[in-house]
Structure 1
Amino acid sequence: MDLFQYDFMWRALLGALVIGLAAPALGIYLVQRRLALIGDGIGHVALTGVGAGLLLNRSPVLVAVVAATLGAITIELVRARGRTSGDLALALLFYGGIAGGVMLVGLSDASSANLNAYLFGSLTTTSAADLTTIAVLGATIGVIMLALRPALFAVCHDEEYARVSGLPVRALNLLLAVTTAVTVTIAMRAVGVLLISALMVVPVATAQQVTRGFRSTMTAAMALGLFAAGAGVWVAASADTAPGASVVLLAIASFLVVAVGAAAWRVLRRRATPTTTTDHEPHEVVLR
Structure 2
Amino acid sequence: MELLSAEFFQRALIGGALIAITAPLMGLFLVLRRLAMIGDTLAHVSIAGVALGFLINVYPVAVGLLFAIAASFGIEMLRKMYRTYAELSIAIIMSGGIALASLLFTMGKGFNLSVTSYLFGSIYTLDYTDIYVIMGVTVIVLSMVLIHKKELFLLTFDEDAAAVSGLPMKYFNIMLSILTALVISAAIKIVGALLVSALLTIPAACSLALSRSFKQAVILVVIIGEAAVLAGLWIAGVANLAPGGTIVLLLIGILAVSVASTKLIRT
Report TM bin, short chain. Answer: over 0.9
Partner in structure 2 of residue 18 of structure 1 = 18
How far the C-alpha of 1:59 sits from its partner, in A, is: 1.8
How far the C-alpha of 1:54 sits from its partner, in A, is: 1.9
TM-score, scaled to structure 2? 0.96
Partner SS, residue 110 of structure 1: helix
Q: How does 1:31-70 map to 2 (within 5 A)?
A: 31-70=31-70
- Residue type of the alignment partner of 1:45: V
How far the C-alpha of 1:162 sits from its partner, in A, is: 0.6
Q: How does 1:98-177 map to 2 (within 5 A)?
A: 98-177=98-177
- Residue type of the alignment partner of 1:67: F
Partner in structure 2 of residue 265 of structure 1 = 265
Partner SS, residue 85 of structure 1: coil
- For the pair 1:193 / 2:193, whether they are aligned, the reply is yes
Segments of structure 1 that go 5 or more residues without pairing to the other structure are 268-288
Residues 203 and 225 of structure 2 are in contact (CA less than 8 Å); yes or no, is this contact kept in structure 1? Answer: yes
How far the C-alpha of 1:111 sits from its partner, in A, is: 3.7
How far the C-alpha of 1:266 sits from its partner, in A, is: 1.8
How far the C-alpha of 1:109 sits from its partner, in A, is: 3.6
Q: Distance in 2 between matches of 1:113 and 1:3?
A: 26
Q: How does 1:62-81 map to 2 (within 5 A)?
A: 62-81=62-81
Q: Distance in 1 between matches of 2:39 and 2:47?
A: 12
Partner SS, residue 209 of structure 1: helix
Cα pair distance change 1:110/1:146, threshold 3 Å: farther
How far the C-alpha of 1:164 sits from its partner, in A, is: 1.2
How far the C-alpha of 1:83 sits from its partner, in A, is: 5.4
Partner in structure 2 of residue 278 of structure 1 = none
Segments of structure 2 that go 5 or more residues without pairing to the other structure are none
How far the C-alpha of 1:185 sits from its partner, in A, is: 0.2
How far the C-alpha of 1:82 sits from its partner, in A, is: 4.2
1:164-189 CA deviation, whole Å, 9 max, x = no partner? 11111110000001011111000012
1:245-270 CA deviation, whole Å, 9 max, x = no partner? 11111111100011111212222xxx
- Residue type of the alignment partner of 1:249: L
Larger Rg: 1
Bigger fraction of residues in helix: 2
Q: How does 1:74-89 map to 2 (within 5 A)?
A: 74-82=74-82, 85-89=85-89
Partner SS, residue 250 of structure 2: helix
Matched positions, count: 267
1:223-243 CA deviation, whole Å, 9 max, x = no partner? 100111111110110111111
TM-score, scaled to structure 1? 0.89
